[in-house]
Amino acid sequence: MKQLLLFVLLITFGFCLNAHSAGIEYFEKKGAVRYDFELVGGRSNVSLIKKDVKYLPEWGGNYSSLIAMPDYGIYRYRIFNVENDSLIFRKGFAPMFKEWQTTAEAKTDIRSYYQSLFFPRPKTDVVLKIDERTFEGRWKTIFIDTIRTNDIFIISEQYPLAPIDTIAYHGIPSQHVDLLILAEGYQSSEMEKFSLDARRLTDSLFAAEPFKTYQNSFNVLALQVPSVESGTDIPGGHCFRNTAFNSHFYTLGSPRYLSTSDMKSVYDAIDGIGWDHIYILVNDERYGGGGFYNFLSICSSDNALSPFVFCHEFGHGFAGLADEYYTSSTSYESFYNLDIEPWEPNITTMVGFNRKWFRLIEEGTPVPTLRSEKYAGKVGVFEGGGYEAKGIYSPVMSCWMKEKQAGGFCPACREAIEKTILLHCE
């Protein structure tokens, strides 16, 4: 019996390794592709306009997990080998454009958002497919393009980098999470402050679990991109600053929502380096931030709550965690379809809860779980989350994806973060 069990485990382990490594033979050992396009549309329509394709010198991702990442995100892109149509790369993401589509403005206006996709440099021609997750939760292919390696219009040039301060380095980038922090609103004379701010906020991240346990799985670099002026734009206060990445508060009309729509400038600044996640650190004392799965995290540097916001927004951007608060005002209209299971790992509509955190619930805890002192600190299924007081449920009564008072990430969020770290480092 023991021999049979060992055989099954070996077969399973071998299958997992093969699944994670699928497609690695189709890519070069060095280099990446940057594929630029614009998302254009209104509330119920979207078009993609191709811009440029570049060859970059470095790929920061893990070659062993090219198709192993969870199927999260509101968009995803897939790379197929032309010769045998095999899937060799897959990655989901959740950009600002999709959030804007849920606002009242999107009912009447059309806007465009600049995007870039990144994947290892292929050895042969590949097909790129971009899929959108519909409101009904199904994937729909909305764009297809063939990328030919002999295309004379693929840009390949020198990519100068701003000075880099190494905050932490624990080994080969492809086997670690490579966090790249960018200076925004820091003048050339303020780069020492930027490095100190970056270290202080990453220290707050690594003081929290599960990041504390996996601290040695991270490389952290701070890119010292100078701005002409200090600070950031505050449109509600008629304050505008000339900064490297044109960040601003009042995103989607929310005073605390900090973001940038100038992603081309962001990507142009980092073309010469490999990375797994981008974090923009804004030189400002106002409270705020933003986080977008596999796309971008951003927060201000000098608010008393900046350490908490830094961790909260990284939860969004790195692990795809949803907001668990449900009483704060937002600009969104019908952000979630309550008839399907959300893709984020830390909220549920109970439609597909068996795929979520049910294993973490102690025997005897009722489902759904009443928000009462009796269940404070316990994992359950508490109504309220994802900006909705009814119909969406969270794992605990209080978590960093809901509020600072929680003191840390809940067990369900920690589990999701840990899985993401391991997939970057296997």
Tell me the pLDDT band of 5, cut-offs 50, 70 and 90.
very low
Q: How many CB atoms lie within 10 A of CB 153?
A: 7
Q: 3-state DSSP call for residue 263? A: helix
pLDDT digits (tens, 9 = 90+) for 323-377: 999 987 666 777 899 999 999 999 999 999 999 999 999 999 999 999 999 999 9
pLDDT digits (tens, 9 = 90+) for 265-287: 999 999 999 999 999 999 999 99
Q: Which structure tokens are listed for 35?
A: 């594929």
pLDDT digits (tens, 9 = 90+) for 178-209: 999 999 999 999 999 999 999 999 999 999 99
Q: What counts of helices (H) and strands (E) characterise the chain? A: 6, 15
Q: Which structure tokens are listed for 46?
A: 């979207």
CB within 8 Å of 259: residues ≥ 6 apart: 96, 247, 248, 251, 290, 296, 298
Tell me the pLDDT band of 22, cut-offs 50, 70 and 90.
low
Question: What is the rounded average pLDDT for all residues in the chain?
Answer: 93
pLDDT of residue 13: 35
pLDDT of residue 365: 96
Q: Are 116 and 99 in contact (CB under 8 A)?
A: no
Residue 143 Cα distances to 53, 129, 130, angstroms = 15, 6, 5
pLDDT of residue 328: 73
pLDDT digits (tens, 9 = 90+) for 69-85: 999 999 999 999 999 99
Tell me the pLDDT band of 17, cut-offs 50, 70 and 90.
very low
Q: 3-state DSSP call for residue 199? A: helix
Domains of the chain: 20-147 (2.60.40.3250), 164-319 (3.40.390.10), 353-425 (no CATH)
pLDDT of residue 11: 35
How far, rounded to the nearest angstrom, does the alpha carbon of residue 225 sit from its chain's CA centroid? 22
Q: Are 298 and 317 in contact (CB under 8 A)?
A: no
